[in-house]
């Protein structure tokens, strides 16, 4: 099948013009494009933890003990959410159940938690959950931290 020269030229121009867009869509992009829901609100005053500053912008850790301690130390900023509907069970490493997204934490609570690009903190009843934003996969469940 012979392709018209105009079609070939158009495809070439389209590919060349799309190259900068593809190059800018780097999945390792470290720029933070979130708003208050990503933890940019900062009214922590002078009592914030130095470990948080060093953990803003990196990948999530394997040990969430320090995060649990921050929640305990700042329990006045964290409130329980509504429990998940009956039959909804959150599991680490699995996507959120269809139609359930948990509840967003308010800006004051988010300001005390570390920020991990591509992840978002949510609450589900007495638990705080860290989910991957693009896929909805549950990365970590901090069971019973909201009392």
Count helices and strands (H / E) in the chain. 4, 4
CA geometry: angle at 63 spanning 136 and 88, to 5°?
Answer: 35
Give residue limits of the domains in the chain. 59-147
What is the pTM (predicted TM-score) of this model? 0.61
Q: Which residue has the higher pLDDT, 88 or 49?
A: 88
Instruction: Please write the tens of the pLDDT for every residue from 39-84.
Output: 433 444 444 444 444 455 678 988 999 999 999 999 999 999 898 9
**Superfamily designation of domain 59-147:** inner membrane protein cigr (3.10.450.160)
Q: Which residue has the higher pLDDT, 13 or 37?
A: 13
Order across the sheet with 119-124: list the strands: 103-104, 119-124, 127-132, 138-142
User: Could you tell me the pLDDT band of residue 25, with boundaries at 50, 70 and 90?
Assistant: very low
Rounded Cα–Cα distance for residues 138 and 67 (Å): 16
**CA–CA distances in Å: residue 140 to residues 31, 82, 87, 92, 116:** 23, 19, 20, 6, 12
């Amino acid at each position: 099948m012979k392709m018209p020269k105009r079609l070939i030229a158009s495809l070439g121009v389209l590919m060349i013009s799309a190259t900068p867009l593809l190059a800018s869509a780097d999945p390792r992009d470290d720029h933070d494009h979130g708003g208050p829901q990503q933890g940019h609100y900062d009214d922590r005053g002078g009592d914030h933890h130095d470990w948080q500053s060093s953990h803003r912008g990196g990948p999530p850790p394997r040990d969430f003990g320090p995060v649990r301690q921050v929640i305990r130390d700042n329990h006045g900023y964290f409130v329980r959410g509504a429990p998940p509907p009956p039959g909804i069970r959150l599991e680490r490493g699995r996507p959120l159940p269809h139609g359930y997204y948990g509840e967003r934490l308010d800006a004051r609570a988010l300001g005390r938690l570390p920020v991990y690009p591509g992840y978002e903190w949510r609450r589900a009843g007495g638990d705080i959950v860290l989910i991957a934003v693009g896929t909805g996969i549950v990365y970590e469940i901090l069971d019973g931290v909201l009392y």
